[in-house]
Homo-oligomer: A and B are copies of this chain.
Amino acid sequence: MRDVLISNVRLPDGKAAAIEIRGGRIAAIHGVGASAAGVEAIDGGNALVLPGLVEAHTHLDKTLLGMPWYRNDVGPRLIDKIDNERLQKKKLGIDPQRQSSRQVVLSVSKGSTHIRSHVDVDTEGGLSAIEGVLATRERYRDICDLQIVAFPQSGLLVRKGTLELMEAAMRAGADVVGGLDPCAIDRDPRAHVDAVFALAQKSGKGVDIHLHEPGELGGFSMELIIERTRALGMQGKVVVSHAFCLGMPEAGYVAQLVDQLAETRIAIMTHGAPYRPVPNVKQLQAAGVTVCCGSDGIRDTWGPYGNADMLERAMIVGLRNNLRRDDEVELALDIVTHGGAKAMELEGYGLRPGAWGDLVLVDVETPAEAVAARPPRKLVLKRGRVVARDGKALVEAP
């Protein structure tokens, strides 16, 4: 880890600054004209500096990046997509290690310094996807931090043997226990939630549950999650991803759920799905609920969209939530930086002395412009090391 001084940058509050990084961490944030002895000097070119972007929800193991175009003619139901994906994994040869590597390198080129990925665990693929992404995590450990969620995509209890594979995934090195639609997929919400939380307790890890269930059905599943979080003392260790149910019209019931999320410090991940009711990020923020954000799947058998750009994702969340004023757009930016860091319990995150030197430089006037304009990232640093420049990662993808 080299020691560097990034001079001639502007902080989010507009102040000109120079950032000194020693031993991978921010040693000091100086005013204009600072110099530091014995460090490499990098001219920031008057760019805006932000803490590294946080991709808090994606599926590294199943992107089709770099593969021939996949013509999608899948049926409309959730189960059509899940079944088709298992089929295509074999048919197309979607290699989890190769594909996750490609997406990590793309993410780094866009300024993400931390990624949380759900990784499939099922009775057909076994632990192969987990092992592939573990190898990727190791390979790119100096350019990006990866968190792996063991994710029972095809169901946890409906497919016998999956729970044992989930346990093995946690032993193999997964960081978080995943779950999926306790009612809609496993058809037994109490048993699903109990199993997920029991495994989390056993492995001493947190929980991150996909909850697509809409309206009152999703609300019920969320109540179960809240109850377990409270009963097991897992406050601050649980994320509910998507949480479409918080977009239901019943304002009073939603407000009551939101209050309980704040009390139990359960974070909400939204990717701003424009075609579903979604959680209102301003409401969550006002109630003190941590909000994070992710690309979800990128160019996979589910759909063709996505490019791993968390500034573009902030724009999509901004459009979805009608965030127009600068203070509102800054909330979208907060979600893809500090919100993600908090939900992922990152140590040493931020633009402050003592935090890791994970930075992204963007050629814009203001934080809101970063979200609206999304220019190629000028410079990306991971623990003080330059890992991308002018929109291109400095490491190779397979």
Contacts and interface: CB of A to CB of B under 8 A. Distances in A.
A372 B329 contact: no
Given A69-B366, A69-B369, A316-B319, A303 B324 contact: yes
A273 B304 CA distance: 20
Interface in A120-166: none
A191 interface: no
Contact of A365 (B68, B307, B326): B68
Interface in A276-331: 299, 302-307, 315-316, 318-322, 324-327, 329
Given A320-B275, A326-B72, A304 B371 contact: yes
Contacts of A325: 72-74
Nearest to A74: B325
Contacts of A236: none
A272 interface: yes
Given A72-B324, A73-B326, A327-B73, A369 B274 contact: no
Given A68-B365, A325-B73, A372 B275 contact: no
A366 B304 CA distance: 11
Contacts of A322: 275
Contacts of A329: 304
A273 B320 CA distance: 8
A368 interface: yes
A325 B68 CA distance: 16
Contact of A274 (B73, B306, B316): B316
A368 B274 contact: no
A71 interface: yes
A274 B319 contact: yes
B73 A373 contact: no
- Number of this chain's copies in the complex: 2
A209 B357 CA distance: 52
Given A72-B325, A74-B324, A326-B73, A369 B304 contact: yes
Contacts of A365: 68-69
Interface residues of A, number: 36
A321 to B, nearest CB: 6
Interface string A45-80: 000000000000000000000001101111000000
A369 B274 CA distance: 20
A319 B275 contact: yes
Given A68-B365, A69-B365, A71-B366, A324 B299 contact: no
A331 to B, nearest CB: 13
Contacts of A68: 365
Interface in A305-364: 305-307, 315-316, 318-322, 324-327, 329
B307 A373 contact: yes
Nearest to A81: B324
Nearest to A365: B69
Interface in A368-386: 368-369, 371-373
A326 B71 contact: yes
A221 to B, nearest CB: 22
Contact of A304 (B303, B304, B307, B368): B368
A366 B68 CA distance: 10
28 contacts: A68-B365, A69-B365, A69-B369, A71-B326, A71-B366, A71-B368, A72-B326, A72-B368, A73-B325, A73-B326, A73-B327, A74-B325, A273-B319, A274-B274, A274-B316, A274-B320, A275-B319, A275-B322, A299-B372, A302-B324, A304-B324, A304-B326, A304-B368, A304-B371, A304-B372, A305-B319, A306-B372, A307-B373
Interface of A: 68-69, 71-74, 272-275, 299, 302-307, 315-316, 318-322, 324-327, 329, 365-366, 368-369, 371-373
Question: Which 3 pairs of residues, A with B, have the shortest CB-CB distance?
Answer: A275-B322, A304-B372, A274-B274
